[in-house]
């Protein structure tokens, strides 16, 4: 049939080919091109740390509350969550018909809603962390716990940081984040009798410890000291 049409109507076939080539060339020259294409981000994650809580407590006291809050936003289309030991992760997907100029406003509204929700959560729960930067899926969620209650959480934090370094070195790993890591603290107890005998107050000791801190402001050199 095609061969018959080609022989019988060569001009018609040639005209169709010319129109197709012209349309393709026009589309190629008019299509938008960017070195870094603009990607409309319709995904976000809400990560909340509840230290020491089991998955059932995290689900009931944190995840469910966050999901109820997010459902009040009209543009939210899909809500999925994972409740694990001490951590709640809620993923949000906006409706694909949401206008581009409306998306940032929706993210701002969600942040405001989460800020209002935070004071109503249990005291041990850390403030929900809202992120629109990491749109990929979490392949694994790991929680470190100690076998004995007397092991400091700072020690667990160091093990977690070491594990994170090893995971980042694995091929195919794009992102590794830590949640709930406690900052190191040094507790200083004063002996009131010895302090009084030396004529020192708690403020004197505090100032001495602060002055002994080796960290200084960037760009400022330490004053030279004479060596005898």
Per-position pLDDT tens, the chain of length 228 = 555 656 667 777 778 888 889 888 888 777 766 555 556 678 999 999 998 888 999 999 999 999 999 999 999 999 999 998 889 999 999 998 888 888 989 999 999 999 999 999 998 899 999 988 654 555 667 777 777 777 777 788 888 889 888 888 888 777 787 777 766 677 888 888 888 888 888 888 888 887 776 555 444 444 444 433
CA distance 7 to 5: 5
Classified as helix, coil or strand, 222 is coil
The pLDDT assigned to 138 comes to 56
The residue behind tokens 């004995």 is 148
* Per-residue pLDDT, 16: 84
Residue 145 CB burial class (10 angstroms; 0-12, 13-18, ≥19):
exposed
For position 227, what pLDDT does the model report?
39
d(CA 55, CA 179): 16
* 8 Å CB contact between 52 and 82: no
Long-range Cβ pairs for the range 161-168 (8 Å, 24+): none
Is residue 46 within 8 Å of 114, Cβ to Cβ? yes
């Amino acid at each position: 049939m095609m061969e018959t049409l080609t022989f019988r109507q060569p001009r018609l076939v040639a005209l169709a080919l010319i129109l197709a080539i012209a349309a393709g060339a026009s589309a190629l020259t008019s299509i938008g091109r960017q070195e870094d294409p603009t990607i409309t981000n319709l995904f976000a994650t809400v990560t909340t740390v509840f230290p020491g809580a089991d998955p059932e407590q995290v689900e009931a006291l944190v995840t469910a509350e966050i999901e109820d809050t997010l459902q009040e936003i009209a543009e939210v289309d899909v809500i999925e969550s994972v409740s694990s030991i001490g951590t709640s992760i809620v993923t949000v997907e906006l409706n694909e018909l949401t206008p581009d100029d409306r998306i940032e406003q929706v993210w701002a509204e969600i942040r405001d809603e989460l800020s209002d929700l935070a004071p109503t959560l249990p005291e041990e729960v850390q403030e929900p962390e809202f992120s629109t930067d990491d749109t990929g899926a979490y392949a694994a969620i790991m929680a470190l716990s100690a076998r004995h209650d007397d092991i400091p959480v700072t020690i667990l934090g160091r093990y977690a940081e070491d594990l994170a370094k090893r995971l980042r070195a694995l091929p195919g790993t794009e992102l590794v984040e830590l949640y709930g890591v406690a900052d190191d603290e040094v507790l200083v107890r004063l002996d009131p009798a010895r302090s009084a005998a030396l004529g020192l107050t708690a403020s004197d000791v505090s100032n001495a410890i602060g002055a002994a801190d080796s960290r200084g402001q960037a760009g400022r050199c330490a004053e030279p000291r004479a060596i005898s």
